[in-house]
Structure 1
């Protein structure tokens, strides 16, 4: 029997509804705060709440908050937003990527993991099994000492590289997955290194149908996407609306190519809305409503122009595929 773990408790997969598969709601990344990068600090709970409410009014049901411990999670704030809006939130246990680990540990984390100065120092000094134990606790007991449990596991790697510490976290996540059966999410910097990550996961005995690889639209390479899809993994196109990286036509074309090759059941869609300038109620950006209100109608039009059932594909990307991707399979 499978279930999905949310901030409000475990639910049946069919209760998930229309889902964004990779977002950030309230987070204050220490790395960016120390460098005064204000655009990367989602630090106003009320403004974030208003965008989440827009998502709900547009027909949304669930948001996967992909904020890991090293990216400045604000667990209690996101929990309050979930309660006030009625939107289900899936939280994230695990880690992001190495260059963020120079940031200093927060006080409550320091008390949980030990008296280390930075995330990098903690990860370097802890064993793989100690890191796995910490992550298992975040899934089964609660995030950062709260009673709010994570619903997915995360690891990440850098641009065209995987450091020894990142390999360490991948192995810890693999152990945690075997223990908890929680789904796995991967951060791929600019969409790179997914195939190398896959080799590490395979060596750790992980079935790839339990893993989703993010930022696939940052590397719009059809051959690369196909090789990932052939493993059975999910591919997350989570840069919707970010025209600075690629025109929307290129994203949609890459998705439709995967559909035509028979991989429609492995595609997830989201916005990775992690800047004030992306949010409507912070800095007048497109906001969390954009994908539902503007992108999905366009996608349906382009899919139908290609001879495909656009409405059915939207149902797959936002409802059916997340039901399988984010399920714990006991």
Structure 2
């Protein structure tokens, strides 16, 4: 990892805009209703779920479209304008229902392709798609009536297992074909630097195209600063999980990053994954980001940093110069 941190070309260089038909392509955020200019994204919940299912969450998935709309409406009533759903392929993203929810709520929705940890899938299903993951991701990013706007992959506890390495290699290939951003589920908030080394050093992904998720779970400000210095976006995305023991340190993490000059790389999301966490079930849900956390960030860190976290940073993190392979 030290090589990555010292290599300024890898850290800072922004590749030139790809060209198609002799014209440089403008950056756009790919939503379920189509591509929009980044400045139209608005206040964004940068990591959440409207739908999700998994054998690892028996009976606890999100599968109620009415409840999803209620959550979006509550978020919109507080000024929320966009949500990134990080539910990847094979985990019940209900992609076909997202455009209707977006229209009815007035909230932009970014959908995801990608693959989570192996425990969330049937083994036969994993075997069936093992050798064609990159093609699967590219298809979901570029084809069909509802296109994904990001790739979501996952690491294991404190390390990258063989499944994670295989999926991340496919994600890097899909990224190079499309320019889609890659969001990383860090299971314990750990292995962030290992992920950056694999994606950026081994597979040539520019660090600013990587979003490291769940960093609040491992509140080591030195690791956060090193990941930010490498150029990645840092997502703190667990306020809906009221039982999490490190959430109280999130503001300290924000302050440390801001003091080090990295406020423009912080993202914030709710990561609602069970019905009880929704605001309609007396959980924090999506609205808590704006009713509880935004006022505190404005008060303690200032309105400029709050604006960066909720509006400006997501617009840059999710924007891509979309290619058609």
Do Structure 1 and Structure 2 share a fold, with TM-score over 0.5?
Answer: yes
Quote how far apart the aligned CAs of 1:263 are.
0.4
Equivalent in the alignment of 2:81 = 61
CA distance in 2, matches of 1:243, 1:290: 11
| Unaligned ranges ≥5, structure 1 | 105-116, 304-309
Equivalent in the alignment of 1:252 = 251
Secondary structure of 2:230's aligned partner = coil
| Unaligned ranges ≥5, structure 2 | 1-25
> Quick check: 9-18 or 155-164, which moved more?
155-164
Residues 241 and 248, structure 1, Cα contact 8 Å, conserved in 2: no
Secondary structure of 1:69's aligned partner = coil
Q: TM-score scaled by structure 1?
A: 0.86
Equivalent in the alignment of 2:36 = 11
Equivalent in the alignment of 2:266 = 267
Quote how far apart the aligned CAs of 1:199 are.
1.1
Residues 7 and 91, structure 1, Cα contact 8 Å, conserved in 2: yes
CA distance in 2, matches of 1:163, 1:138: 25
Q: 1:192 to 1:247 in 2, by over 3 A?
A: closer
Quote how far apart the aligned CAs of 1:74 are.
1.0
Quote how far apart the aligned CAs of 1:286 are.
1.8
Equivalent in the alignment of 1:293 = 291
Equivalent in the alignment of 2:315 = 323
Correspondence 1:133-282 to 2 at 5 A? 133-142=135-144, 147-201=145-199, 202-246=201-245, 248-281=247-280
Residues 53 and 63, structure 2, Cα contact 8 Å, conserved in 1: yes
Residues 98 and 163, structure 1, Cα contact 8 Å, conserved in 2: no
> Greater helix percent: which structure?
1
Equivalent in the alignment of 2:114 = 94
CA deviation map 1:108-165 (0-9, x unaligned): xxxxxxxxx332x235xx33xx2111110000003xxxx1000001211111232212
CA distance in 1, matches of 2:258, 2:237: 17
Equivalent in the alignment of 1:45 = 65
Equivalent in the alignment of 2:18 = none
CA distance in 1, matches of 2:189, 2:36: 31
CA deviation map 1:56-100 (0-9, x unaligned): 011000000000013221112222211211111000011111222
CA deviation map 1:169-224 (0-9, x unaligned): 10001011001011111111010111111111121111101110000101101111
Secondary structure of 1:212's aligned partner = strand
Equivalent in the alignment of 1:307 = none
Q: 95, 118, 121: which is aligned to 2:125?
A: 118
Residues 28 and 74, structure 1, Cα contact 8 Å, conserved in 2: no
CA distance in 2, matches of 1:242, 1:132: 32
Residues 18 and 61, structure 1, Cα contact 8 Å, conserved in 2: yes
Equivalent in the alignment of 2:51 = 26
Secondary structure of 1:63's aligned partner = strand
Q: 1:155 to 1:247 in 2, by over 3 A?
A: closer
Q: For the aligned residues, what is the CA RMSD?
A: 1.5
Residues 99 and 158, structure 1, Cα contact 8 Å, conserved in 2: no
